[in-house]
C-alpha cells in the first residue's frame, strides 16, 4: 500500500495527521509519502501543482489521501484549483462517491428518522458539467458585462457515471437507483442524461430505476430519505445535494468522500474545507478524515478495515466523545485517541 498524502491547508493538515495515526495503527506496513502542497508552498515559491508530481501520483501510488485546500491569504484559490481540480481532471477521477450514512440517530436534524432511514450513496459526476471552466467574460467590470459558464455533458462521461452507479447497486445488493437532473429546464444536456439513463437502466432489470428533478430530489431527501439507496447526478447538483446529505448524516465533520477512477489511482478526502475560523485551535473534527480513510481501505481491497473504522466512529459518537461542533468537549487528538482505543480493543477480541 503506497499512499500519497497532502494535508493541504488549515484544518486539512490537522485532520489528516489524525487519519495517519489511524493508518499507522491499522496498516503499519503502508508506505506514506507526504507532499508539500497547499497555500504555504504557493506563497513561498509560487508552486501550485507540479506536473511531475501528478505523474508520480498516477504511476507510483495506490491512492491519494488529501485534507483540504483553501486559504484566505490566497483569495484566487488558484492553488486549490490546480491541485484538487487538476487531480480530478488529469487523473480522470470521474466518480465522486459520497456515502450519506447516519451513524448516530441523535445527530440527524430530521424528526423520527433513524440510522436505517438515512443510508444511501451519491454518485456525483466529477469531471464535466459546469465545473470545467469553459466560458468567458465580456466587457468585464462594466455595466454591460456578460459572463458565460458552459455546462459540458459528453455521452461517454454521462454513461460511465450512470453505469458506475448501477454497477455499484448491483454489486452491493442495493435495489434502487435514482437519477436527478433538471431536464425540464435544461433541455439539451439533461435530455442526454435522460436518454442514457434509460439505456443503462434497461441492462439492470432487477434494479428499480427512477428519476427526479433535482429540486424535487432536495425536498425528498429531507421529507423521506429512506426512499433512496443510490443517487446519481451531475457535478453541480451532486456538489449541492451531498452537502445537504452531510447535514442529514450529522454534519460536515462526519462526511467522507472518494474521488475515484476505477482504472487508476483514486483520491480520498473529507468533504469539509479548510475551515480557517477554527484552524490551530485543536477542535477540528477528525472523523470525516478517518471515515475517508475507511473508504480508501475498501477501495484498496481491505473492506474489513473500513468496517472496523465505521464501528469505532459509531461507538465514539454514541459515547459523545466528540469535538465542540457536535456538542462535545474533546480536542481533535482526543477524538482520535478514543478511536484508537476502540480499534485496539477490537483487534484484541
Ligand atoms: P470550503 O470553502 O472549501 O467549503 P470552508 O472551510 O469555508 O471551505 P466548510 O468546510 O464547508 O467551508 O466548513 C464550514 C464551517 O464548518 C467551517 O468554517 C467550520 O466552522 C465548520 N467545520 C468544517 N469542517 C469542520 C470540522 N472537521 N470540524 C469542525 N468544524 C468544521
Which phi and psi (to 5°) does residue 158 adopt? Answer: -70, -40
Distance, CA of 324 to CA of 283 (rounded, Å): 7
Ligand 1 nearest atom to the CA of residue 10, by list position: 6
Ligand 1 nearest atom to the CA of residue 288, by list position: 27
* Ligand 1 centroid distance, CA of 286 (Å): 12
Q: Ligand 1 pocket test: which of 77, 272, 290, 329 has the largest number of ligand atoms within 8 Å of its C-beta?
A: 272
| Closest Cα to atom 24 of ligand 1 | 272
Q: What is the pLDDT of residue 349?
A: 39
pLDDT tens track for 117-132:
999 999 999 999 999 9
Region of residue 273 (phi > 0: left; psi between -120 and 50: alpha; otherwise: beta) = beta
* Ligand 1 centroid distance, CA of 325 (Å): 10
- Which pTM value belongs to this model? 0.94
Q: What is the pLDDT of residue 348?
A: 42
Nearest alpha carbon to residue 339 among 326, 170, 113, 323: 323
Average model confidence (pLDDT) for the chain?
96
Q: What is the pLDDT of residue 67?
A: 98
Distance, CA of 119 to CA of 102 (rounded, Å): 6
Residue 253 Cβ inside 6 Å of ligand 1? The answer reads yes
* Ligand 1 centroid distance, CA of 170 (Å): 34
Q: Is the CB of residue 48 less than 8 Å from the CB of residue 71?
A: no
Q: CA-CA distances (angstroms) from residue 1 to 26, 284, 300, 347?
A: 12, 27, 8, 20
pLDDT tens track for 286-305:
999 999 999 999 999 999 99
Half-sphere exposure of 164 (CA within 13 A, CB side): 26
Residue 285 Cβ inside 6 Å of ligand 1? The answer reads yes
The rounded percent of the chain whose pLDDT value lies above 90 is 98
Query: End-to-end CA distance of the chain, in Å?
Result: 25
Q: 159 falls in which pLDDT band (50, 70, 90)?
A: very high
Residue 238 predicted with pLDDT over 80: yes
Residue 252 Cβ inside 6 Å of ligand 1? The answer reads yes
pLDDT tens track for 67-103:
999 999 999 999 999 999 899 999 999 999 999 999 9
| Closest Cα to atom 5 of ligand 1 | 273
Residue 45 Cβ inside 6 Å of ligand 1? The answer reads no
Residue 265 predicted with pLDDT over 60: yes
Residue 275 Cβ inside 6 Å of ligand 1? The answer reads yes
Q: What is the pLDDT of residue 346?
A: 62
Residue 121 Cβ inside 6 Å of ligand 1? The answer reads no
Residue 334 Cβ inside 6 Å of ligand 1? The answer reads no
Residue 258 Cβ inside 6 Å of ligand 1? The answer reads no
Residue 264 predicted with pLDDT over 70: yes
Q: What is the pLDDT of residue 345?
A: 85
Q: Ligand 1 pocket test: which of 257, 278, 291 has the largest number of ligand atoms within 8 Å of its C-beta?
A: 278
* Ligand 1 centroid distance, CA of 274 (Å): 6
pLDDT tens track for 185-220:
999 999 999 999 999 999 999 999 999 999 999 999
Ligand 1 nearest atom to the CA of residue 270, by list position: 27
Ligand 1 nearest atom to the CA of residue 274, by list position: 6
Amino acid at each position: 500500500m503506497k499512499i500519497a498524502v497532502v494535508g493541504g491547508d488549515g484544518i486539512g493538515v490537522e485532520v489528516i495527521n489524525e487519519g495517519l495515526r489511524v493508518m499507522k495503527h491499522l496498516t503499519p506496513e503502508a508506505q506514506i509519502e507526504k507532499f508539500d502542497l497547499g497555500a504555504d508552498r504557493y506563497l513561498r515559491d509560487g508552486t501550485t501543482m507540479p506536473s511531475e508530481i501528478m505523474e508520480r501520483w498516477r504511476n507510483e501510488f495506490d491512492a491519494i489521501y488529501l485534507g483540504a485546500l483553501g486559504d484566505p491569504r490566497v483569495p484566487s484559490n488558484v492553488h486549490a484549483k490546480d491541485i484538487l481540480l487538476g487531480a480530478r481532471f488529469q487523473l480522470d477521477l470521474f466518480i465522486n462517491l459520497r456515502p450519506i450514512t447516519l451513524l448516530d440517530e441523535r445527530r440527524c436534524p430530521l424528526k423520527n428518522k433513524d440510522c436505517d432511514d438515512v443510508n444511501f450513496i451519491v454518485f456525483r459526476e466529477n469531471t464535466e458539467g459546469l465545473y470545467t471552466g469553459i466560458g468567458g467574460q465580456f466587457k468585464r467590470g462594466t455595466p454591460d458585462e456578460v459572463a458565460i459558464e458552459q455546462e459540458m455533458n459528453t455521452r461517454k462521461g454521462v454513461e460511465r457515471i450512470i453505469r458506475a452507479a448501477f454497477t455499484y447497486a448491483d454489486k452491493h445488493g442495493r435495489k434502487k437507483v435514482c437519477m436527478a437532473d433538471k431536464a425540464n429546464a435544461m433541455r439539451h444536456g439533461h435530455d442526454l442524461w435522460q436518454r442514457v439513463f434509460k439505456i443503462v437502466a434497461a441492462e439492470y432489470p432487477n434494479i428499480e430505476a427512477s428519476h427526479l428533478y433535482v429540486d424535487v430530489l432536495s425536498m425528498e431527501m429531507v421529507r423521506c430519505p429512506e426512499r433512496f439507496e443510490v443517487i446519481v447526478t451531475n457535478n453541480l447538483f451532486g456538489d449541492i445535494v451531498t452537502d445537504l446529505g452531510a447535514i442529514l448524516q450529522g454534519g460536515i465533520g462526519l462526511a467522507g468522500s472518494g474521488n475515484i477512477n476505477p482504472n487508476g489511482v483514486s483520491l480520498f478526502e473529507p468533504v469539509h474545507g479548510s475551515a480557517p475560523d477554527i484552524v490551530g485551535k485543536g477542535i477540528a473534527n477528525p472523523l470525516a478524515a478517518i471515515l475517508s480513510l475507511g473508504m480508501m481501505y475498501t477501495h484498496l481491497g481491505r473492506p474489513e478495515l473500513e468496517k472496523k473504522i465505521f464501528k469505532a466512529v459509531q461507538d465514539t459518537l454514541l459515547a459523545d466523545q466528540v469535538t465542540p461542533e457536535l456538542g462535545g468537549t474533546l480536542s481533535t487528538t482526543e477524538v482520535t485517541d478514543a478511536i484508537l482505543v476502540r480499534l485496539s480493543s477490537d483487534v484484541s477480541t
